[in-house]
Amino acid sequence: MTETNHRWAVLRRDGAALVVGPGAPDGLPAVLHWGADLGELSDETLEALRLAAAPAVPHSSIDVPRWLSLAPGQDDSWEGTPALALHRNGRGIHPRWTRVRLAQDDCGHATVTAADALNGLSWRMDLELAVGGILRVRQTVTNTLPGQEALTLDGAQILLPLPDTATEVLDTTGRHCREHTPQRRAFGHGTTLRASRRGRTGHDATLLLFAGSAGFGFRSGEVWGVHVAWSGNHAHFAERLPERAGQSSAVIGGGELLAAGEIVLAADESYTSPWVSFVYSGCGLDGAAAAMHRWLRERPGHPRSARPLVVNTWEGVYFDHDLSRLLRLADAAAKVGAERFVLDDGWFRNRRDDRAGLGDWTIDPEVWPSGLAPLFDHVRALGMEPGLWVEPEMANPDSDLVREHPDWFLAPADRLPASWRYQHVLDLSRPEVYDYLVASLDAVITAERPGYLKWDHNRDVIAALSRDGHAGVHRQTDALYRLLDDLRARHPGLEIESCASGGARVDLGILEHTDRVWASDTNDPLERQRLQRWTAQLIPPELLGAHVGPAISHTTGRYATLQFRCLTALFGHAGMELDLSGLEETELEQLARWALRYKEFRGLIHTGTMVRSDHPDPSVWVHGAVSAERDEAVFAVVKMDTSAEDRSDRIRLPGLDATRTYRVSLVPELTDAGHSVAPPQWILDGGQLVAPGAVLAHAGFAIPVLYPQTGMLLHVRAIEADVR
């Protein structure tokens, strides 16, 4: 890899491009273009691009053109959110950078470095245009002032310009058991800020904040999105000012949200921000999702093996850890085709409910006098891999750990924050706490040999001050990442799920250290359809845990058919979370047939391109996965609610090759018959339809009249693939 100094940096990949070049004469470089690939650019074209971006100077303004630099602030006349907020003992700093150097290598990376000798600063920005056209950016600030005067960093944000055509903003919000709910609004003057001070990503966190062209949808419009890859406090924002700065009057960005005094740098110390990922799509939200999924799948640590069908014991037995009952549950799990059996909360000392025992990471001798071996050996003999639930970052006050070490909480010496689920947060940044957790978890994993940990985190980290009174979320998050990496290094092949009372820690930061996320604590399939649809905007299905729960959801009280529960769970890393041993034989047979279909289709769903249809009837949702060769696909058609019409409009199957002819087949185990007096003719003729991809994608075809909370599964294969 070679790196040379440049006047320009031009990064191009997979339909996206970033152009960085001269901005203000005495400032940092500016982003002159981020969006669609512009093709090969000569020096003359680059100069023309810069000239075209240079704005006029209006009345009542600074006397020279405004430029939006890579790290804008008030010293270069940016009056929006600054990239850096710095001070020394209360004396504000507006950096004036010199010795600016822009370099680009031949592998899609660019770096910008600069110094401010007067204020004792050096600065670096790393920019990487990765597979899928994902742009990853981070910045590093170093205190270069000799002596004892520290540098306090109050904020470090990454900002990129948006074009005037970005007129709408979309993000997600949520709560426990209703995560990742979309919300959309006009993008006018001012700041759309999504800030999380929860000490974890948060149930209400926006996975990606998007700005886009008017009316953008799943398959149409231009969108520009941002995601902060960090599991602590963070901010995402889109901002538009009345003043134009260079090429834009609007920005999109984000970064870690720092508490007062959280980052204080002594001489020669540095702060490096989390990676902030930006995505551009010229074909709507599906294009952005495909880019994110492709990037994630190219990571060296991305799971490569088939994602095993899971049984989790939580909604089957809760805290009732009776060996004979669990053995019956394991037998039933193996009978229906499960491949992983996860023992959830309740296995460790004094843990009969959620009010005691958390933090005491040894097997409860009263419940498990011979350890977990009688269950785990039986699970292995049935051909399944055992897994185990843990929540290492927390402790109940009613625990042996806290009775022995009452000062180990992430809290000042004089008080505790409010309790949450009868537990408090341990300070992982303290060496003695970290060492205890490594040693105790390592001992359990070594002795019981689970291949999988469900790693939970059941509360927000509020009022997060360490014992000496300093803000603690940044250090806590860093320590968590180290703890996960330490355990995985000690136990190669161990897989870890990020669960945080459901989907409160779903981000690209935690996925650098774990193997899947638990999207929500609700297994109600109607809620799951909504939240999986939007969680998958960031997370590909193979990393998204999706389970078949009981007929009546314990989180909503709503009844759902087994067919609808199975259809919903199919489009993720599928599993079951109910008392299988209490089901009727016909239900077990239905689950066994579904398990076979999951194993048949998981390779397609977990490697294919996710597609979602912009159907005109809001009660009908169509989503699927199309193979890379576009010779095979699987689609779910879901009826979410009643419709204003007596029957739905024809459905369309996006993502297929318009020039190929396909055979569309119903998958009977996962298809509701509907309640039509007569179904469409193609179903009467045998449940198969042969049509060109252009017809299926643009003209569509009729479906039965479906009741709400039912659906259909369609398997699509190119005719030549059938012949092969």
CATH code for position 258: 2.70.98.60
400 Rama sector, left if φ>0, alpha if ψ -120 to 50, beta otherwise? alpha
Question: What is d(CA 343, CA 42) in angstroms, rounded to the nearest whole number?
Answer: 61
What's the CA dihedral at 192, 168, 291, 203 to 10 degrees? 40
Burial of 660 (0-12, 13-18, 19+ CB in 10 A): middle
Residue 461 pLDDT: 97
CATH code for position 719: 2.60.40.1180
Q: Vertex 564, ends 560 and 567: CA angle to 5°?
A: 150
Residue among 659, 632, 636 nearest 718 (CA)? 632
Q: What average pLDDT does this structure show over 253-257?
A: 98
Residue among 721, 666, 703 nearest 688 (CA)? 666
For residue 182, being part of any structural domain is answered with: yes
Residue 76 pLDDT: 84
Residue among 566, 586, 574, 578 nearest 669 (CA)? 566
Instruction: State pLDDT tens for residues 46-63.
Output: 999 998 888 888 888 887
Domain C-terminal end among 298, 328, 358 = 298
For residue 717, being part of any structural domain is answered with: yes
Burial of 435 (0-12, 13-18, 19+ CB in 10 A): exposed
Residue among 659, 425, 539 nearest 179 (CA)? 539
Q: Helix axis angle, 585-605 relative to 323-336, nearest 10°?
A: 60
Question: What is d(CA 707, CA 244) in angstroms, rounded to the nearest whole number?
Answer: 52
Residue among 398, 496, 501 nearest 445 (CA)? 496
Q: Which residues are catalytic?
A: 456, 521
Instruction: State pLDDT tens for residues 668-710.
Output: 999 998 888 888 999 998 999 999 999 999 999 999 999 999 9
Question: What is d(CA 455, CA 453) in angstroms, rounded to the nearest whole number?
Answer: 6
Q: Which two tokens stand for residue 591?
A: 């689950």
Residue 723 pLDDT: 54
For residue 373, being part of any structural domain is answered with: no
Length of the chain: 724
For residue 96, being part of any structural domain is answered with: yes
At position 359, the amino acid (one-letter code) is: G
Instruction: State pLDDT tens for residues 219-242.
Output: 999 999 999 999 999 999 999 998
How many domains in the chain? 2
**Domain assignment of residue 672, given as a range:** 613-723
Mean residue pLDDT of the chain comes to 95
Alpha helix (H) ranges present in 614-723? 681-684, 693-694, 719-723
Domain C-terminal end among 233, 268, 298 = 298
The confidence band for 2, taking pLDDT boundaries of 50, 70 and 90, is: very low
Supply φ then ψ for residue 7, to 5 degrees.
Answer: -80, -30
Question: What is d(CA 474, CA 493) in angstroms, rounded to the nearest whole number?
Answer: 28
For residue 291, being part of any structural domain is answered with: yes
Question: What is d(CA 250, CA 211) in angstroms, rounded to the nearest whole number?
Answer: 10
Place of tokens 């009057």: 249
The confidence band for 1, taking pLDDT boundaries of 50, 70 and 90, is: very low
The partner residues of 81 in beta bridges, in order of sequence, read: none
For residue 534, being part of any structural domain is answered with: no
3-state SS assignment for residue 50: helix
At position 416, the amino acid (one-letter code) is: L
Q: Are 181 and 534 in contact (CB under 8 A)?
A: yes
Question: What is d(CA 29, CA 110) in angstroms, rounded to the nearest whole number?
Answer: 12
Domain C-terminal end among 263, 298, 333 = 298
Question: What is d(CA 84, CA 96) in angstroms, rounded to the nearest whole number?
Answer: 12
For residue 26, being part of any structural domain is answered with: yes
For residue 516, being part of any structural domain is answered with: no
Q: What average pLDDT does this structure show over 479-492?
A: 98
Q: Are 343 and 387 in contact (CB under 8 A)?
A: yes
Question: What is d(CA 22, CA 31) in angstroms, rounded to the nearest whole number?
Answer: 9
The confidence band for 26, taking pLDDT boundaries of 50, 70 and 90, is: confident
User: How many other β-carbons are positioned within 10 Å of the β-carbon of residue 227?
Assistant: 26
